A = this chain, B = another copy of it.
């Protein structure tokens, strides 16, 4: 019988974390991962900004990221696998309005012993060469830009290399005897009658039916459970079955700028915020342009997650838009950090968010032998380990997943039907 115990669609960080945790717990199971690309993590995982934070108002967001980051840190420190994890911190630059809005949330978090540090704007102006006042600048006023009033820095946050995480999971999964087939594109999920009658056209609606595998460019693959971890491609596969997952694809763009000038190098390697000796991952006031330091490469990654009217659109090869940097990100950036004046990106890339439009939390549920794992909404890298453990627990029929560090997580909290999540108030 050529039926796998599970076939996992997608060798991105979510699919491989899931595969690894299932195999780790049950080494005798036959688990197959398939991916349309020719290597691991070549889809949206490779296009991620690969940053993390462990400060959220939603307890679920917190535990998913905090336990995953603890695991990555353990892998790097204890297992000696370099994931290029660096605790650079997250620095929020807040307008007076932002600050008033966030203060009650921050106070609540402080009472739970979650650590962060507050900075005065003047201090940041000095250490970062930050332009904290937009007053009198006609352009900035036209653009609706606000003065920087305070800064909040989260220490347990930083950057990591998504590719290194993916490679770690892939190697461990293979070492345990897991199978991976690259270059295998899933064309559709197969549904069959639970008790086939051998009549053409089955399943009919009066028959009980289930997902029995996938049809791919290299043939049919049968499995007891089909696990879809295909990121932004999940809704396309599920729509064909009439199953709602509340995930929509949306393009995200990242622009890389070299720290060539002395002033930019000085900014990149700003001392005092973290042991790494670089600028933290920095979030400007609204509209929240993001600066992700890449100190080893001498580079900044720049990004903005545009919402309305950015389309929900599935693209096989999404492209960055020159004007998005030139008339968008650059215009905002240079008003706060004049060091970037005249800087143009030397490279850029675009990937797809898999946005959960219900609440932005991941979606992990089972229906008719189909398990769906997705909807990380831009925080897949920082939560992948926990998500993989929860998906593995669901696969194993367990009520609770054991996250790294021993924390228990109720599997159904991320389901659709018995979902229990709290809205995140500390959004970027």
Chain A residues near B (Cβ < 8 Å): 142-145, 191, 197, 199, 201, 203-209, 239-244, 246, 248, 250, 287, 304, 306-313, 323, 327-328, 331-332, 357, 367-368
Contacts and interface: CB of A to CB of B under 8 A. Distances in A.
Contact of A145 (B197, B206, B323, B368): B206
Contacts of A144: 206-208
B368 A308 contact: yes
16 contacts: A143-B207, A199-B327, A204-B327, A205-B287, A205-B306, A205-B328, A209-B308, A240-B312, A242-B307, A242-B308, A242-B310, A242-B311, A242-B312, A243-B308, A243-B309, A308-B367
Contacts of A310: 242
Q: Binding site of A, secondary structure by majority: helix, strand, loop or mixed? A: loop
Q: Which 9 A-B pairs have the closest CB atoms?
A: A244-B357, A241-B309, A239-B312, A191-B309, A205-B306, A242-B310, A143-B206, A206-B287, A240-B311
A333 to B, nearest CB: 11
Contacts of A207: 143-144
Contacts of A309: 191, 203, 209, 240-243
Nearest to A235: B312
Given A240-B311, A240-B312, 14 more contacts: A144-B206, A144-B207, A191-B308, A199-B327, A201-B327, A204-B327, A206-B328, A241-B309, A241-B311, A242-B250, A242-B308, A244-B248, A244-B357, A308-B367
Nearest to A335: B206
Nearest to A326: B201
A328 B204 contact: yes
Contacts of A143: 206-207
A368 B307 CA distance: 13
Nearest to A304: B205
A240 B308 CA distance: 10
A204 B239 contact: no
A357 B247 CA distance: 12
Nearest to A312: B239
A267 B256 CA distance: 74
Nearest to A331: B206
A368 B309 CA distance: 10
A362 B86 CA distance: 48
- The residue in A142, A205, A207, A312 that gathers the most chain B C-beta atoms within 10 A of its C-beta is A205
